[in-house]
A = this chain, B = another copy of it.
Amino acid sequence: MYLNADRAAAAAAKGEKVLLVRNETSPEDLRGMIAAEGILTAKGGVSSHAALVARQMGKVCVCGAAALQIDYAAKTMTVDGVTYKEGDFLSINGTAGEVYPGQIPTAASEIVQVLIEKSLDAHKSQAYQNFWCAKVTRLSVRTNADTPEQTAHAIAFGAVGIGLCRTEHMFFEGHRIDAMREMILADTQEHRREALAKILPYQREDFVGMFKELKGHPATIRFLDPPLHEFLPHDDAAQSDLAKKMGVPAEKVKQRVKELHEFNPMLGFRGCRLGIVYSEISEMQSRAVFEAAAEVQNSGIKVNPEVMIPLVGFKKELDLQVEVVHRIAGEVMKEKGVKLNYLVGTMIEVPRGALTADEIAQTAEFFSFGTNDLTQTCLGMSRDDSGSFLGPYQELEIVKKNPFATIDQSGVGQLITMAVEKGNKTRPGIKLGICGEHGGDPDSVKFCQRAGLSYVSCSPYRVPVARLAAAQAMVEEEQFKKKKRK
């Protein structure tokens, strides 16, 4: 186990099996998370950063193990009086949420062995045979993926497209983060455009890779969503480094971080608010999507991009962003001499979006319910901060299940049902899906079937579970119909 992203990555590079242990993770830990086999945190819960990213990557993760006492300076971790140092072995069980001392041998599930590792013959696995029966569903299952590899795994598991490609990860990797930071520090639109131009080729390449894996399956691509301060370093040393790299005074970096600080970043300058105030960001992202689509289509592979605008609460927000997407799509099609099919739609993830879904559907060609944020705003409950009271809340039976794991049907579900009705009223048959992590939870999948959604989307390694749940939902519906007929 290692307590720091850099040391975790270094150990993995030397061939060690690495468990990354942190109080909590942030985007700055991404490198260490990629290198690690598993992730263990002292804080957070089912929908904290560590859990989301690990699930997305198909890694084992235990979050919120409050008994861990981590001493970053001493590079040790103490649990129940026993102290572990970096390099020591620990094992974790992500399903049970348990941590064991020492190394426990593990094996991939038979489904993974058959479909991903290809180390097991399909006919020899009963588990695989059972799973593959799950074919008769009305709800289709898509995946949340932002790399070609994740896409390939999900397709192997039976996903029929990408329901959520979070493009923010495309601003982080390697040199891109430098250009992103340059953009954030820029004082003029011109300077921001120059910085964005450096990111464009990387994002285009990412999309090319994913479109190729999808072979014509649809890809819902969400434009930049998180607040900009998430892309800047927060400690003094890293800020000084960045200032040096950018050739600006350290004070300027500090000042910008301070300016971007928010009291409640979840409710702040993020989502389409960014793309509206800095339309050059949406322009660059549109160009990356459509140039990639043109390239792949010209190579003879079908493409079906669906551009998704996040955090829309007002129709006019969507109108403004849709104008940018259509304009750039038109430019690219003219430049490349191709005709591209694409949709533009929105996430419904703030209550106002659901309440005014009839207006929004005048512009939106699809809705995708972002049930993570919709739960946070509908309940007034932060996924990252609810750990302090959700325990007592479950004991007192105020909530039956963690609302970030299983959809709160009477609250959040009511907003979804309302938006489905209103959306269909304005645009009959509007495409409807869900892309929060609830898409991988069986109870929530069954709710989605009843609500009349057409697909759920979840991280690649949850696709098999979601497909089973979709099949079960179908069986339950048939049984219910039969009962009614009697």
Contacts and interface: CB of A to CB of B under 8 A. Distances in A.
Interface residues of A, number: 50
Interface in A350-374: 350-352, 355-356, 359, 373
A264 B356 contact: no
A311 interface: yes
A74 to B, nearest CB: 15
A266 interface: yes
Contacts of A380: 266-267, 271, 311, 313, 349-352, 373, 377
List the number of copies, as a whole number.
2
A356 B410 contact: yes
A396 B317 CA distance: 9
B378 A351 contact: yes
Interface in A371-400: 373, 376-382, 384-386, 388-389, 392-393, 396-399
Contacts of A314: 398-399
B398 A276 contact: yes
Contacts of A311: 380
Nearest to A23: B258
Contact of A376 (B267, B397, B415): B267
A124 to B, nearest CB: 47
Contacts of A356: 410-411, 414
Interface in A87-104: none
A276 B311 CA distance: 32
A251 interface: no
A136 interface: no
Nearest to A43: B259
A67 to B, nearest CB: 14
A478 interface: no
A314 B381 CA distance: 12
Contacts of A398: 276, 314, 316-317, 320
A342 interface: no
Contacts of A359: 410
Contact of A352 (B276, B277, B316, B408): B408
A415 B351 CA distance: 9
B411 A355 contact: yes
Interface string A222-266: 000000000000000000000000000000000000000011111
A349 B273 CA distance: 24
A346 to B, nearest CB: 13
A441 B440 CA distance: 45
A352 B385 contact: no
B384 A264 contact: yes
B382 A263 contact: yes
Nearest to A418: B355
Contact of A268 (B351, B382, B396): B382
Interface of A: 262-269, 271, 273, 276-277, 311, 313-314, 316-317, 320, 349-352, 355-356, 359, 373, 376-382, 384-386, 388-389, 392-393, 396-399, 408, 410-412, 414-415
16 contacts: A263-B266, A263-B384, A263-B385, A264-B376, A264-B385, A265-B385, A267-B377, A267-B382, A276-B392, A313-B380, A313-B381, A349-B380, A350-B380, A351-B380, A352-B380, A356-B411
